Amino acid sequence: MDRGEERAPAGGAGQGGAPAVRAANADRWRRTYWVVWIANLVTSIGMMSFLPFFPSLLEEMGVADEGRRSVWAGVCFAAAPLSATISAPVWGAVGDRFGRKVMVCRAMAAIALFVGSMGFASSPWQLLALRLGQGMFSGFIPPSITLVSIAAPEDRQGRVAGNLGTALAIGGLVGPLLGGLLANALGSRQAVFFVVASLATISAFIVWFGAEEDRSLRRTGGAPSSGKPVRDAFKRLSSDLAEVFAQPAMRAMALVVFSLQFGLGAVNPILELYIQGLFEGDLRGTFWARVVGLLGAGEGDLEKQVETFTTALSFGAMAVANLVSLPLWGAWGDRVGHARALAQCGGIAALALVIQAATSSYAVFLAGRFLMGVGMAGIGPLAFGLAAGEARADRRGGAFGVVFSARTFAVAVGGTSGGLLYTLLEARGLMVLAALLVLGTLVGFRRSSAARAAASSG
């Protein structure tokens, strides 16, 4: 990759390297970074304010049977990431040609439209259709990272992606709490959708008026013109995406990202069942029973209360580890190389899965979940940093779309696969299988990385 060609427009190399010019460029990319960070934080808080509450929302729609609610909740939850898997690379390629800032604003406007319309949905089918539309048109993460990435210095790509990821992680922690408070205050979970739409609209305005984009870093040329604009546009987009998928490094990295996210997605849905097995017997007088008592548990099934609390705690521990580790992985990847750091975070995640599978102690299991959060935190910033190193600035949107698609596809199929495999392997076997999948993929990734390094040095 020609680094000089890529960085000259954004870094001031073609302007004599004057200190004043470099300082101005630094101020511009930092302002764009903070504008996008704030907009991502606001949007992610809004998005996470309704995602955990699909069962309650479906009950408000009249789905009384608990079994039907669980099926519909799973389908509606998976619909958006599944459709985003298809659309993310396409929107990335469109952004490479027509602008990343407009793609961020397009995505946030789509959130305002589709999520706002969910407030009027009166049936599960309507909710499902809107979730599919939301996933198809409202993926704001890849264009947000692309917009900042093309302006940021080469040696800060991992840190930029990691720090933007912290905005999403904070949204994941704050959003559900805000959603619960708003639902109680407004008297309906459907009313929360109007708040989310408002937040997305505010975010779009923040980006449109606050962020800057260097238009010289957009893609030009491509497939020859045939005199038919629509056909020519599709040919150019197809050519752009084919170039991305043709790179062995991109394919190997996407496979690693998929295996890591798939391993987590397959385990999460059955985690509560696994934790139930760790608390068999009389729990009266145990440490966790006392903790639940101190938190003000009322009368009822003590075992159920402990299981509910410890399941929530296991997810919270992972979320905290993720939030703390995100920027650290980005900085570490910038220092030692994103491919090497991605392999390390995958190794940590595999080790954490083995620890969780091998223990019969909840305390050790909780430590394994925290370690899992540390390892999984590196996926986003390191994969985006690696893609930034492989793709020139005018092709980066498509490359980032591939990374995002690998993650969303794993989320969409991981939970379903985990539920099916649970009946055959049970929780411990499923965790070991997920660890083996990650390790096997990492071996192939390291070999391909070594082969590319040897070829480039030779």
pLDDT grade for 14, boundaries at 50, 70 and 90:
very low
**Residue 363 burial by CB count (10 A; 0-12/13-18/19+): exposed, middle or buried?**
exposed
Identity of the amino acid at 350:
A
Question: What is the Cα Rg of the chain in Å?
Answer: 23
| pLDDT computed for residue 262 by the predictor | 85
Query: pTM for this one?
Result: 0.73
pLDDT grade for 4, boundaries at 50, 70 and 90:
very low
Please check the confidence at residue 16 and state whether its pLDDT lies above 90. Answer: no
Distance from the Cα of residue 368 to its chain's centroid:
21
451 against 96, higher pLDDT: 96
Q: Do domains 13-215 and 232-458 have the same CATH topology?
A: yes
d(CA 410, CA 407): 5
48 against 301, higher pLDDT: 48
| pLDDT computed for residue 25 by the predictor | 60
Cβ atoms of 431 and 100 closer than 8 Å: no
Token code pair at residue 292: 């639940």
Please check the confidence at residue 411 and state whether its pLDDT lies above 90. Answer: no
> Among 2-16, 125-139, 189-203, which stretch is predicted with the lowest mean pLDDT?
2-16
Computed over every residue of the chain, the mean pLDDT equals 80
| pLDDT computed for residue 348 by the predictor | 94
Please check the confidence at residue 393 and state whether its pLDDT lies above 60. Answer: yes
List all residues 6 or more positions away from 132 whose beta carbon is below 8 Å from its beta carbon: 79, 80, 82, 83
pLDDT grade for 261, boundaries at 50, 70 and 90:
confident
State percent of the chain over pLDDT 70.
81
139 phi/psi in degrees, rounded to 5: -75, 100
Can you point out the beta strands (E) in 117-266?
none
236 against 175, higher pLDDT: 175
d(CA 113, CA 42): 16
| pLDDT computed for residue 457 by the predictor | 64
CATH of domain 13-215: 1.20.1250.20
| pLDDT computed for residue 274 by the predictor | 81
d(CA 261, CA 418): 12
Q: Where are the domains of the chain?
A: 13-215, 232-458
| pLDDT computed for residue 2 by the predictor | 36
User: What digits encode the pLDDT tens for the residues 102-147?
Assistant: 999 999 999 999 999 998 988 889 999 999 999 899 888 888 988 9
DSSP 267-288: HGGGHHHHHHHHT-S--TTSHH
User: What digits encode the pLDDT tens for the residues 231-240?
Assistant: 555 566 566 5
> Among 35-39, 85-89, 355-359, which stretch is predicted with the lowest mean pLDDT?
85-89
User: What digits encode the pLDDT tens for the residues 274-331?
Assistant: 877 777 665 665 676 777 666 665 555 667 777 777 777 787 788 889 888 988 998 9
Long-range CB contacts for residues 176-184, cutoff 8 Å, separation at least 24: 176/48, 176/49, 176/51, 176/52, 176/53, 178/45, 178/49, 179/48, 179/49, 179/50, 179/52, 179/53, 180/53, 182/49, 183/53, 183/56
232-458 maps to CATH 1.20.1250.20 = yes
User: What digits encode the pLDDT tens for the residues 316-327?
Assistant: 788 889 888 988
32 against 283, higher pLDDT: 32
